[in-house]
Structure 1
Amino acid sequence: MSAAQVLVVGAGPTGLTLACDLARRGVAVRIIDQAPGPSPGSRAKGITPRTVEVFDDLGVAGEATRASTPVVMRHHGRDGTFVDQRPDSYWRSSPAEPYPQLLLPQWRTEAILRSLLSRLGVTVEYGTRLAAFEQDGHQVVAAVQHPEGGRTITAGYLVGCDGGHSTVRRELGVAFEGTTHPAQALLIGDLEVTGPRADRLHFWADPERGFLQLCPFTGSPVWQVAAMTPGWQARPPAPSREVFQHAAREITGSSGIEFGAARWTSTYRVNVRMADRLRRGRVFLAGDAAHVHPPAGGLGMNTGIQDAYNLGWKLALVLGGLATDALLDTYQAERLPIAAWTLGTSSERLRDMVAEIGKGGGADLGVVNTDDTRQLGLGYRWSPLSHPGTGHRGRLRPGDRAPDAPCRDAGGASVRLFDLYRGPHFTLLGFGHASRPAIEAVSAAWDGPLRTCLIAPGAPLADHDGHAADAYGITGDALVLVRPDGYLALTAEHHQAAAVVDYLRSL
């Protein structure tokens, strides 16, 4: 029998993110997956700006950005005309929101996270299937099957990140309510493509002939091909190179696109389902094991990654003795409403996309790129972890995402707020010199993971252009406490150190 503090089941993006977050916090984590090795498919390819911020905190945003395909959408008509839609037509960076959406094949996203996990001393245990588990008030005992035979793993907590057909969810007896639409079928495959420009994401949309998307990937000869025709909806064919080739010629009206052998294929049917709870005792659900969505807007994988990001710091504080088990209840309180919102939003974006396809050559598939699908406006104002306030009122409220802002250190070098937030700690910002005593008092009173920073002229950090004060809506001197996952815990008057200490101790 082997042991771990947390056992993660499933090594997709959700499970890998959680394992990375736990490992960097010093938690003994094991991660298993029944597959013999990493998945080769491109699958989910859109990384939302909020998820890029998660990657920034984990230290891999730069690597992901360098590997991303330029997000320029080319909308084709059957007459050979086209229109390019650049990202700045629906998104512009700002000091508070620095990251764009990225395009990465899922296999590359997973490779980046696996590499980080390896650097943290943890290896995915492939070929290891969860057979069953039992839990009591102290631990979870999981029976797993491996080519070398069965064995058990004992853990303090178990997290099911094992997809829409989750064994963990089934063993927990958690309902997975919603609908499946078998008539809405989309064929997806990874193929080599010749013909179109490799620096564009290509779309053809025709209400009578169907929909075709060709997405290249930087540094790879393989593109993701997605196709849908009206004739497939009753009984779609098995995806293959020949099927994609025929569909491309029918939809585009051209023979100028050629496909190589299909390296990976899948038939996607629209599912809209959600678990009715995310926790039962010492076992949690995250990612597709907890919710599955329509593909429009690319929210599914991103929501799963953010599930993991929400849960990781809470498990670490509880396992480290700095918080009570009640903190873990806030995972469900915060993420279940987000899952419900995501189901609704992705369904709306799917309807928008279908409506655009109905316009034929005038289709604008940028309709799925909205403020909602960037996920920057999501937060937890309703959460028990969002302190109601102590008198200070900035533009933001507890539970809101903590924005970025460029500042300067004492030597004049540029320092972003995200640089301060990066790592497994709370961050206390003190705006104005009058906040210094409160910052010192909180540092002395709280022995948990905490970074403090005074933002004022001549201080360790100067808000030289006022971007930080503007992003947070701060006028005068104030305290802002930021959670480890980049959301505001509370705002307070500059002298209210006790409010900050009380909050941290209340965990």
Structure 2
Amino acid sequence: MSTDVLIVGAGPTGLALGIDLARRGVDALVVERAGELFPGSRGKGIQPRTMEVFDDLGVLDAIHAAGGGYPVGMIWQDGQRVGEHRMFDPVEATEDSPYDEPWMVPQWRTQRILFDRLEELGGRVAFGLEATGIEQDANGVTVRLSAHGESSDGSASLRRGAGNCATSHDGPAAGNRPLAALPAVLRARYVVAADGGRSAVRRALGIGMTGETVDPNPTLVADARITGLDRDNWHIFPPRGEGDGFLAICPLAGTEDFQVTAQFPEGSSVDLSLEGVRKVVAARSHLAPEDVTEVRWASDFRPRAALADRFRDGRVFLAGDAAHIHSPAGGQGLNTSVQDAYNLGWKLGAVLRDGVDEALLETYEEERRPVAADMLGLSTSVHRGEVRRGEATRQLGLGYRESSLTAETRQAPAALRAGDRAPDGTLGGVRLFDAFRGPHWTLLAVGVEAPELPGPVGVVRGPAQESYGKGLFLVRPDGYVGWAGDTADGLPRYLARAGL
């Protein structure tokens, strides 16, 4: 069996990439080692830039419906409310940035929404399947697959998940429909490793990771049902004495659950059982053990920051946690990962479907690795209390000004430069995010005449406006300005390079 792209890992990164490729008509298969989608809440914050990405991928309405805003932190001491804590510096929505603050959606629900969208577009996910060997040649990648219960001919009998998230969260699994048996060896033109921080693909390629332990203290995170606390606040219980850790209990928007987070001294073992969670909640708050009525998912971790030494090896790309591991502070990990997929998806589509030179794929690492490095530094600084959550953590200021794919040709460019995120707004009566939505390029003619362009490029015309000033702006499929000019001089050369 062969496919254009094999995506290893059905987390937010792999599913978002699968959606982007499916809408471009690229044949892709997502394989996931686990037998179901991730069942926990861990990556619950969706930043404004990722909300814009989800708008383009067609899942924003579902994401809005599934979550809610972040509650105000309430600090407790000896059973009394003693003060409030604002998690984020306030930022008002503007016309060019319509999503002002992070949106809380438990990770399991985000993945379910992405999975449903992928199936809607005809995409495929095979659960219970692991990539155990990779060999490359000039034309493609041969991937050896293994699964539980192999047939006599060596093929793996797999299942297609029908949104099979954990039954504890979303009622009984929607049933598993049979997926045609896959061979033990699969051929792909490209492979994307989106298989997490312990990526088997990255290790098989021999790609190292450079990083540090952000905090040696182990941390418990659990989804639980709890009585005796309101759902209007994020409840914070500071350490009571030396050697104690903090406890935070956050209502998970769109569910009846709370996320319990508790830090322990270095070297401690973390009890993930119901009794273990009850014990730490009762010891650090005014709640009784029986107020924790159920633990629906639990895990422990030690915050770490690490960056892969490279994001590409021949025809194999690293994305998401396989390429960068973040502290959860500041909510940068899932968001940076989804944006990896958003950057890579259109480039793979251009090469595989539009015949663009493969050199375009070299810009993936060039653009995304510096961004990931910056976001790792930001996550670590937020974790250590050196930076507050605010403008930087919203990720709207990220861009690719230094990319070889960026061309700024104006004599006196304004604040908005080629390589920057293309703002929303209205031009000639058209909302720009509506014009950008879809797998195409868009030319904005702002206060100047628009040249004749190939069919695949959308064109929006209008007078000079505040966000863009005046000029021609060619917006990439991922919503960044690729080329900007006072006139169309140089635009044909750029379009030819992009395969348009």
TM range (shorter): 0.7 to 0.9
Correspondence 1:435 to 2:428: no
Partner of 1:462: none
Q: Please say if residues 89 and 388 of structure 2, whose CA atoms lie closer than 8 Å, have aligned partners that are also in contact.
A: no
Q: 1:408 to 1:196 in 2, by over 3 A?
A: farther
Query: Structure 2 CA distance, aligned partners of 1:310 and 1:214?
Result: 35
Among the aligned pairs, what percent are the same residue? 40
CA contact (8 A) 1:431 1:479 kept: yes
Partner AA of 1:157 in structure 2: Y
Post-superposition offset of 1:256: 9.4
CA contact (8 A) 1:10 1:162 kept: yes
Contact 2:240 2:284 in 1 (8 A): no
Structure with more helix by fraction? 1
Q: What secondary structure sits across from 2:146 in the alignment?
A: strand
Quick check: 81-90 or 50-59, which moved more? 81-90
**C-alpha contact (below 8 Å) 2:190/2:315 kept by paired residues:** yes
The AA in structure 1 aligned to 2:476 is R
Cα distance in structure 1, aligned partners of 2:216 and 2:188: 42
Task: Judge conservation of contact 1:390–1:499 (CA < 8 Å) in 2.
Answer: no
Which residue, out of 241, 248, 251, partners 1:213? Answer: 248
**Is contact 1:70–1:199 with CA below 8 Å preserved after alignment?**
no
- The yes-or-no answer on 1:506 pairing with 2:497 is yes
Distance 2:69 2:60 in 1: 15
Once the two structures are TM-superposed, the CA of residue 238 in structure 1 deviates from its matched residue by 1.9
Q: Using the alignment, how far apart are the partners of 1:499 and 1:390 within structure 2?
A: 11
Within 2, Cα distance between the matches of 1:470 and 1:83? Answer: 41
Q: Is the Cα–Cα contact under 8 Å of residues 430 and 455 in structure 1 kept in the other structure?
A: yes
> Secondary structure of 2:34's partner?
coil
The corresponding residue for 2:213 is 180
Is the partner of 1:118 in helix, strand or coil? helix
Residues in 2 aligned to 1:202 and 1:77: alpha-carbon distance in whole angstroms: 7
Residue equivalent to 1:242: 275
The count of aligned residue pairs is 462
Residues in 2 aligned to 1:182 and 1:81: alpha-carbon distance in whole angstroms: 28
Match of 1:102 in 2: 103
| 2:483 matches 1:482 | no
Q: 1:368 to 1:265 in 2, by over 3 A?
A: farther
Counterpart CA distance in 1 for 2:83 and 2:214 is 32
Evaluate the alpha carbon distance shift between residue 168 and residue 88 of structure 1 in structure 2; reply closer, same or farther with a 3 A threshold: closer
Output the CA distance in 1 between the equivalents of 2:289 and 2:40.
25
Q: Deviations over 1:379-415 (max 9, x none)?
A: 1111001103243513211111111114563xxxxx4
Q: Name 2:48's counterpart in structure 1.
A: 49
In structure 2, what residue type is equivalent to 1:295? P
Q: Which residue of 1 aligns with 2:416?
A: 396
Provide Cα deviations, 1:358-379, integer angstroms capped at 9, x if missing partner.
Answer: xxxxxxxxx6422111111111
SS at match of 1:206: coil
Partners in 2 of 1:236 and 1:407 — Cα distance?
58
Aligned to 2:98, the other structure's residue is in SS state coil
Aligned: 1:470 with 2:466: yes
Q: TM-score, normalised by structure 1?
A: 0.87
In the other structure, the counterpart of 2:138 is: 137
Structure 2 equivalent of residue 362 of structure 1:
none
1:470 shift after superposition = 1.1
Which deviates more from structure 2 when the two are superposed, residues 182-191 or residues 310-319? 182-191
The question of whether the paired residues in 2 share the 8 Å contact of 1:424 and 1:484 is answered with yes
What is the deviation of 1:219? 3.7
Q: Is the 8 A contact 2:271 2:277 kept in 1?
A: no
In the alignment, what sits opposite 1:3? 2
> Is contact 2:3-2:189 (8 Å) kept?
yes
SS of equivalent residue, structure 2 residue 42:
coil
Q: Distance in 1 between matches of 2:208 and 2:89?
A: 41
Paired AA for residue 197 in structure 1: D
Shift of 1:89: 5.1
Q: CA deviation at 1:156?
A: 0.8
Q: Summarize the alignment of residues 152-191 of structure 1 with structure 2, pairs less than 5 Å apart.
A: 152-180=185-213, 183-191=216-224
Conservation of the 8 A alpha-carbon contact between 1:90 and 1:369: no
Aligned to 2:174: none
Superposition pairs of residues 356-395 of structure 1, within 5 angstroms:
368-391=388-411, 393-395=413-415
- Structure 2 residue runs of 5 or longer lacking an equivalent are 156-183
After TM superposition, the structure 1 = structure 2 runs for residues 167-316 of structure 1, keeping only pairs within 5 Å, are 167-180=200-213, 183-206=216-239, 208=241, 209-229=244-264, 232-255=265-288, 258-316=291-349
Q: Which amino acid aligns with 1:375?
A: Q
In structure 2, the partner of 1:417 is: 432
Q: Secondary structure at the match of 1:187?
A: strand
Amino acid at match of 2:320: G
Distance 1:183 1:392, change over 3 A: closer
Q: In the TM superposition, what is the alpha-carbon distance from 1:249 to its structure 2 partner? A: 2.9
Q: Cα RMSD between the aligned structures?
A: 2.0
- 2-side partners of 1:89 and 1:188: how far apart? 25
Letter in 1 for 2:278: Q
SS of equivalent to 2:225: strand
Alpha-carbon contact 1:10-1:161 (below 8 Å) kept: yes
Stretch moving more, 173-182 or 317-326: 173-182
Hey, what's the Cα distance between the residues in 1 that align with 2:193 and 2:87? 35
Structure 1 outlier segments of 4+, above 3 Å? 82-89, 253-257, 406-409
Amino acid at match of 1:111: R
Report how far residue 82 of structure 1 moved: 4.4
User: Aligned residue for 2:159?
Assistant: none
Deviations 1:33-70 (A, max 9, x none): 01111121111111111111110111111211121133
The verdict on how the C-alpha distance between 1:246 and 1:146 changes in structure 2, with shifts beyond 3 A counting, is closer
Q: Which residue number corresponds to residue 369 of structure 2? A: 336
AA of the residue aligned to 1:452:
V
- CA distance in 1 between counterparts of 2:125 and 2:232 reads 33
Task: Give the 3-state SS of the residue equivalent to 2:385 in structure 1.
Answer: helix
d(CA) in 2 for partners of 1:336, 1:86: 31
